[in-house]
Amino acid sequence: MATAAFDPGGLTARLTLEAPLESPDGQGGANRTWSAVASLWARIEPVTALAGEEAGGGRVTITHAIWMRHRGDVSSGMRLVKGGRVFVVETAHDPDESGRYLLCRCREEGR
């Protein structure tokens, strides 16, 4: 299998990887908070922007491909944060199975 043609100098975005923490809310549900796991360098590539309607209002869903150095602790449900921007990890995989990079498909929240 060919290795991913990727310039590591393109990892210019500083992101914080966060994992969800859930605690009981006393009423049978849970409160979700976020805990920082790591600070890392990544490359953010916009992929799609889809306009839709939700509850009578407009909503845009933006997806991104986020590249980073390989980590074994990234999974769907985690999120990456850059300033006020939040990217929810939907999938994470090694694109060429070389153990060098990790490609996360993410959905940006709040846009």
CB 43 within 8 A of CB 10: yes
Report yes or no on 110 lying in a domain. no
Question: With DSSP H G I counted as helix, E B as strand and the rest as coil, what are the percentages for the chain, rounded to 5?
Answer: 5, 65, 30
pLDDT single digits (tens) 9-42: 889 999 999 999 999 888 888 899 999 999 999 9
CA–CA separation, 46 and 65 (whole Å): 6
Report yes or no on 109 lying in a domain. no
Number of CB atoms found within 10 A of residue 41's CB: 14
Specify the number of domains making up the chain: 1
pLDDT single digits (tens) 68-102: 999 999 999 999 999 999 999 999 999 989 999 99
Residue 87 belongs to domain spanning: 13-19+31-103
